[in-house]
Amino acid sequence: MKPPIVQKLWNYCNVLRDDGMSYGDYVEQLTYLLFLKMADERTQKPYSQKSIVPDEYSWQSLIKRDGDELFDHYRHVLEALGREKGLLGLIFGKSQNKFQDPAKLRRLIVDLIDKENWSRMTNPLQRSDLDDFVKCYKVDARARRKATWSEDLKELSPGQSEYKGRWRGFDYDELVARDEASLDIFWLRDESLEDSDNLPEPGVIAQEIVADLEAALVQFREVTLDRGVEEVATSPEIA
């Protein structure tokens, strides 16, 4: 059985999907917000650590705002932190606000993330939480995929309901009907290179990206320490 907060976050992914936000974009935005929230938690007891996030871009600067002010400030936060050096630059580099509705951004921040203490969670996300997705995805047998999503709603409690099932397929017409939808896939050439016709293979570039992400995650673990797990050595910047 999934922890309640995991179920809430999955359900909210469905809400944002109706606004055109993909699963990947949702996970990306969630990562940024959780980082800011957990960095804020580390400044409080029993940790009492100095935050690596400047006060003007901190979690507290988000929760005190609402509406368009919050929407614009969140965008500025991502842009500013992306220009920082070290860990912040690695995590927030090239980050963008993918939300379309300020009210839904506010709900995610205040109702779902701020009410939890993520540094002290006793039920961290487990591999089993993804079992439903893996089972439906059928990576080796795509022809046997079967949608579990239904337009019918099931009632969770008085006044609260959700769609039955979580996974469904989308045909071409449904995809292209969305705002800013594009199925164009092309390889961008960096004209600043002396010989742009001899770019590294995509696999090589992907490996370099993975290496950068792994380096960021090593430092990120200092912020997201699990109770009872040894601290991972990180740069003095985080200590």
Binned at pLDDT 50, 70 and 90, residue 154 comes out as low
The larger pLDDT score, comparing residue 220 to residue 34, is at 34
- The domains of the chain are located at 4-177
**Does pLDDT of 24 surpass 90?**
no
Question: What is the model's pLDDT at position 167?
Answer: 74
Per-residue pLDDT band at 30 (split at 50, 70, 90): confident
pLDDT confidence band for 180 (50 / 70 / 90) = low
Collapsing DSSP states into helix, strand and coil, what is residue 106? helix
State the Cα–Cα distance between residues 234 and 215, nearest whole angstrom. 10
Task: Give me the pLDDT at residue 206, please.
Answer: 60
Distance, in Å, from the CA atom of 132 to the CA atom of 153, rounded to the nearest integer, reads 19
Using DSSP's 3-state secondary structure scheme, residue 207 falls into helix
The DSSP call for residue 65 is -
Give the mean pLDDT of the chain. 75
Domain at 4-177, CATH homologous superfamily: N6 adenine-specific DNA methyltransferase, N-terminal domain (1.20.1260.30)
The Cα–Cα gap between 158 and 160 comes to 6
- Mean pLDDT over residues 203-212, rounded? 63
Mean pLDDT, residues 105-129 taken together: 78
Higher local confidence (pLDDT), 43 or 194: 43
For residues 140 and 206, which has the higher predicted lDDT (pLDDT)?
Answer: 140
Structure token digits, residue 153: 């709603």
Please report which confidence band the pLDDT of residue 235 belongs to, taking 50, 70 and 90 as the band edges. very low
Confidence of residue 3 (pLDDT cuts 50, 70, 90): low
Does residue 101 carry a pLDDT above 90?
yes
CB 39 within 8 A of CB 19: no
The pLDDT confidence band at residue 225, using thresholds 50, 70 and 90, is low
Cα separation, 134 vs 127, whole angstroms: 10
- Among 230, 1, 6, smallest CA distance to 116 is for 6
- Give the DSSP H or E segment for 151: strand 150-157
